Structure 1
Amino acid sequence: MGGALPEEVRDGVVWRLQEAYAAGALTYEEMDRRLGRALEAGTPAELEAVVAGLPVEAPASTGVIVAAGGGRITRRGAWRVPRFLKVGSAFGRVRLDLSRAVFDGPEVEIALELGTGGARIVVPPDAVVELDGVTTGWKDLRYRPRQPSRPGGPVVRVTGAVGFGRLRVRHAWFRRRQR
Structure 2
Amino acid sequence: MTAQPSKPSRCPLPSDLLRASDDERDAVVEQLRDAAAEGRIDFDELDARVGRALKARTHAELAVLTADLPRPASPEPQPPLVLKGGMYGASRGPARWEVPGRVIAHGGVGGVKLDFTRVECRLTEVVVEAYGETSGVTIVIPDGWAADTRGMDPGRGGLRNETTPDRLPGTPLIRLTGSGGMGGVIIRHPDRRERRRLQGNPTQG
Match of 1:23 in 2: none
* 2:49 partner letter: T
Structure 1 vs Structure 2: percent identity of aligned residues? 23
Query: RMSD over aligned Cα, in angstroms?
Result: 3.2
Higher relative contact order by CA 8 Å / sep ≥ 6: 1 or 2? 1
Aligned pair 1:72/2:79, yes or no? no
Structure showing greater radius of gyration is 2
**Equivalent pairs, count:** 138
Secondary structure of the residue aligned to 1:103 is coil
* 2:173 partner letter: V
Q: What is the aligned counterpart of 2:80 among 50, 54, 63?
A: 63
Match of 1:8 in 2: 27
Contact 1:91–1:114 under 8 Å retained in 2: no
Q: What is the aligned counterpart of 2:185 among 160, 167, 176?
A: 167
Q: What is the aligned counterpart of 1:121 among 139, 164, 170?
A: 139
CA distance in 2, matches of 1:111, 1:69: 17
TM-score, normalised to structure 1, is 0.63
Cα deviation, 1:77-127, whole Å, max 9, x if unaligned, reads: 211110011112321211111111233511100011231011211112111
Q: Decide whether aligned partners of structure 1 residues 41 and 152 sit closer, same or farther in structure 2, where only a CA change above 3 A counts.
A: farther
CA distance in 2, matches of 1:138, 1:101: 31
The offset of 1:43, in angstroms, is 1.9
* 2:25 partner letter: P
Higher fraction of strand: 1
Unpaired runs of at least 5, structure 2:
1-23, 35-42, 51-72
CA distance in 2, matches of 1:119, 1:64: 15
CA distance in 2, matches of 1:166, 1:64: 20
Contact 2:32–2:49 under 8 Å retained in 1: no
CA distance in 2, matches of 1:118, 1:11: 37
Contact 2:84–2:112 under 8 Å retained in 1: no
CA distance in 1, matches of 2:32, 2:105: 29
